[in-house]
Structure 1
Amino acid sequence: MLTTKQKSFLRSEAHHLDPIFQVGKGGVNEAMLVQIKEALEKRELVKISILQNNEDGKDEVAKALAKGTKSELVQLIGHTVVLYKQSVNNKRIELPVKR
């Protein structure tokens, strides 16, 4: 579980990132989750865009993405989701210490 300070830090790190995945009309599926897991292992922090034609609510999509990839939901702003998962082999982001 991330602290407020850690989430704030990750939001600032994600600010300059572009979304690398899009969730469209088909919603969240297993193939998408596998690709996002691989991207999280390489990058630790990813942005995902929820398209207007998505039939599910954006909150449900964000929760499904976080649960399906076993990652932390950092932010849901507008139709953009930011996910974080600490990498096993490619650790790049140093989080602020929990207090």
Structure 2
Amino acid sequence: MALTSDQKKQFRTIGHSLNPIVMVAGKGLTENIQLEVDRALEDHELIKVKFAVGDRDIKKQLIQELCSVVEATVVQEIGNIALIYRASLDPNPKLSNILR
């Protein structure tokens, strides 16, 4: 799903105040991490994921792999943090970072 530049700007503004929900360590993307990211995206729509891997190329590869598995879009990558978005089918206004 391609985001417009206005949507990316809005999501980056919202994401500025968010804390990372999931941390991906050196073991890579396990099934539990994928399930947790999928659940968090369904609840919150916009989340931050922290990648604690040393190599920049491996980090970019992990971000792309995670987004393809959970069918999400990368909004922004800064350092070890990736801001990712996936629209929820039935967003909860109390949990969604977009609707709050």
Q: TM-score, normalised by structure 1?
A: 0.85
Deviations 1:38-70 (A, max 9, x none): 110100000011114579622111111111110
**Secondary structure of the corresponding residue to residue 20 of structure 1:** strand
CA RMSD of aligned residues (A): 1.9
User: What residue is the counterpart of 1:34 in the other structure?
Assistant: 35
Q: Distance in 2 between matches of 1:51 and 1:86?
A: 26
Query: Aligned pair in 2 of structure 1 residues 69, 37: CA closer, same or farther (>3 Å)?
Result: same
- 2:12 is equivalent to residue 11 of structure 1: yes
Deviations 1:59-89 (A, max 9, x none): 1111111111101111111000111011111
Q: Distance in 1 between matches of 2:23 and 2:57?
A: 13
Provide the identity percentage. 30
Q: Distance in 2 between matches of 1:59 and 1:90?
A: 29
Deviation at 1:9, TM superposition (A): 0.9
Query: Aligned pair in 2 of structure 1 residues 16, 55: CA closer, same or farther (>3 Å)?
Result: closer
Structure 1 stretches of 5 or more lacking a match?
95-99
> Larger deviation: 54-63 or 7-16?
54-63
Q: Distance in 2 between matches of 1:88 and 1:28?
A: 24
Deviation at 1:23, TM superposition (A): 0.6
- 2:20 is equivalent to residue 25 of structure 1: no
